[in-house]
Each structure stands twice: as structure tokens, then as C-alpha cells.
Amino acid sequence: MSKTKTTVAAATLLAVAGASLAQQSQFLYTDVNDPGIGGFLGGAHTRIIDHTNPGAFLAGIVQVGGSFYFNDGAANFDPALTSGLFRLDGAFGTPSISPVATGMPIENPIGLQWDAGRGNFITVNNPFSPIGGSVDGILGITPGGTVTTVFEQDLSIPRPRYQGASRLAADPTSSSYLVTSPNGSGAVVGSGELGNGSALFRMNIDGSLSGTQELVVDLADTAVTGLAEPLLDTAGITVNPTSGLVYLTDRNQGAIYEMALDGSGAFDSIRMIIDGLNGPEEIQYDPFNDRLVFDENFGSGLGRISQVELDGSGLEMLVDGVDTRGIVVVPAPASLSLLALGGLAAVRRRR
């Protein structure tokens, strides 16, 4: 895939920062097709750093202090390659990448959250074809690299059930996590592992990092959701912590949905806010501008990142020609410049 060269000068970013703050989100993202970390800062697309892990298949990314942490699912396609959690330091100065935890049981980790209270990263582990030692479920990983199996799926229990989960977000009603399960429905059941409808679960995690699943809603059960169509491939999830509203992407419907929970955390309602999208997957709430940032994946390594208002209006494409499975929203460049200005000048390489 051809990549255009983009040079971003720090002075230019600062000049447009004031105007862009109220108009465009700022974020870092994982690039799958051309493995590495990119950014959209001050209205400009920049390359932060390449990731040289062979077979890299990058996913979720979060910020903890001045560092960023991201998943790499390389072993998803080749057991000889190494999946893991990696740390990016100096993102806005002199960037460098180092491993936090690699190897089994980590295989194709996708969704990623930092749990400060438990001192662990909580990640969805979703092996494409499980091999010896991998876990299909939820893992906890400390910044020092200790890996704990929090939850492992059990396909022997009746549907709906946690199955082949994708992403997670902090539950606005508790200290638990909401986890999307693209194949977890009991209302629409295909054959084998695939072809099932989707469901949303709450992952309750205790002090010993032991997790238990709790159904929030079977997203393919239209009698419960009130939607015209069942949701068959729900992947992305994010939460507005102020309103408590949950936002979901469904690749099959090409749409984003807004879901409300009641005071006890039970399902209340869901509605579509925008459709006509191409395979929307990753989605994050932008607390600085009160909007949503999400990606669309067209297949064959092609995709784009866009932003939209919470009511589905104002759709705007921000980055084109990238394939991402992870986005983290950051403050405006004027704030980031306090860390370092030099790192904002980058050259997009051809590949």
C-alpha cells in the first residue's frame, strides 16, 4: 500500500492548535497494515514510530502517565511469532518501544484498558486459532510484565455466553468492565464458532483478579433491544463517563449505537445514531470535545479514522489509508508540546 510522505512542523501545529481544539479530535492510533503508531495532532497526520516486531498485528492502545501501551497480536497468524503488550515512551520527543510482556498465554490481545485500582492492564485475549498455552478470555498484565488469567471462556455453558470477545470499556455503573462478544448471542445461533449474533457482558473482577461473566443484553434479540435488526458483529465499545451512555459499533450493520443502562446497571434501551459506515470497529469517546472517534475497515489493509458528534451528526474523516484496531484520544497539541515539540515533526515513510 502506497503511503504519502507527510512532514509536520511543530510551529505549524501550534499555529492551528487553537482552531483545531474545538473542531477536531487529537489521538494516537495503532497502524496494522504498516505496523507502528501514528497520530492526528493539531489537524495534521503524523507518523510517531514504526514497530519492527515480525508479523505485527497491532490493536488497543492506552495512555498511562507519559507512556502509551499497546497490544500486538503477531502470533495470531503464526505460532512462531510473538504476541504481547508493548510500551511506547517519548511519543512527542524521541520515541522508543519496549516489550512489557510477550509470549503465552498472550495471543492476539485486542481491547485494552488500564485498571489503576488493581494495578493491571486488563485486555481481551482472542486467539484466532488457539495453540498450546493460549487463553481465550481476559488477561491481567502488570507494568512489570506479570500475566494473570482473569477469565477463560467456557463454551459448554448455555447461550448467551462470553464467546470470542473483542473489546472492553469501564462500566459506568460499577468497578467492572463491559465486554463485547461478537459471537455470544443465544437468539441468533450459527454453526460452530462463527455465524452467531452478538451480546454484551459485564466482567466482574474481584481483588484476586478473578473474573465472572454477567449478561447485560443479547444484542441479537430484537424482542429485548427493540431494534429492527439483530446485531450480528458488535466489536467496539466506549463509554461517556459523564452521561453513563455506552456506544457500540456493529460491523455487520455498518452502524454506531447508543445504549443506556439503568441505575442498577441493567440494560435500558439502545438506538442507532448513524449507519452507512464500512465495517466500523474501534471507537473511543473524546472527553475534550464531547464526540466519538472511530475507525472503518474496508478490508485488504484499507481503512480510515473519523469523528462524529454524539447524536450522529457532523461526520468528518480525519485520517485516510490506515488500518487500525486501537485509538487513544489525547489533549490538544498545545498541551502535548509541554512534553516535547521535536517529536511532532515526522516523516511518513513509503512501504
pLDDT digits (tens, 9 = 90+) for 289-331: 999 999 999 877 789 999 999 999 999 999 999 999 999 999 9
Checking if the pLDDT of 156 tops 50, the result is yes
- 277 CB-near residues (< 8 Å, 6+ apart): 254, 255, 256, 296
Would residue 70 count as lying in a domain? Answer: no
Nearest alpha-carbon partner for 244 in 312, 328, 169: 169
Would residue 46 count as lying in a domain? Answer: no
Burial label, 217 (beta-carbon count in 10 A; 0-12, 13-18, 19+): buried
Going by DSSP bridges, is the β-strand pair 96-102/109-115 parallel, antiparallel, or unpaired?
Answer: unpaired
CB 31 within 8 A of CB 322: yes
Give CA separation, 186 vs 75, 162, 179, 221, in Å. 30, 11, 16, 8
Would residue 185 count as lying in a domain? Answer: yes
Would residue 101 count as lying in a domain? Answer: no
Checking if the pLDDT of 158 tops 50, the result is yes
Would residue 253 count as lying in a domain? Answer: yes
pLDDT digits (tens, 9 = 90+) for 114-150: 999 999 999 999 997 666 778 999 999 999 999 999 9
**pLDDT at residue 334, as a whole number:** 53
* Predicted TM-score (pTM) above 0.75: yes
Would residue 77 count as lying in a domain? Answer: no
**Distance between CA atoms of residues 245 and 264, nearest Å:** 14
> How many residues are recorded in the chain?
351
Would residue 41 count as lying in a domain? Answer: no
**pLDDT at residue 193, as a whole number:** 62
Angle among Cα 19, 246, 226 to the nearest 5 degrees reads 125
For residue 195, the enclosing domain spans: 163-276
Residue 150 CA, chain-centre distance (Å), reads 19
pLDDT digits (tens, 9 = 90+) for 214-236: 999 999 999 999 999 999 999 99
Q: Enter the DSSP assignment of 223.
A: H
Checking if the pLDDT of 93 tops 70, the result is yes
Number of domains in the chain: 1
Angle among Cα 44, 123, 225 to the nearest 5 degrees reads 90
Would residue 214 count as lying in a domain? Answer: yes
Burial label, 93 (beta-carbon count in 10 A; 0-12, 13-18, 19+): middle
CB 183 within 8 A of CB 194: yes
Nearest alpha-carbon partner for 238 in 256, 219, 263: 256
What single-letter amino acid sits at 20? S
pLDDT digits (tens, 9 = 90+) for 59-91: 999 999 999 999 999 876 777 788 999 999 999
Q: What is the mean pLDDT of residues 175-185?
A: 96
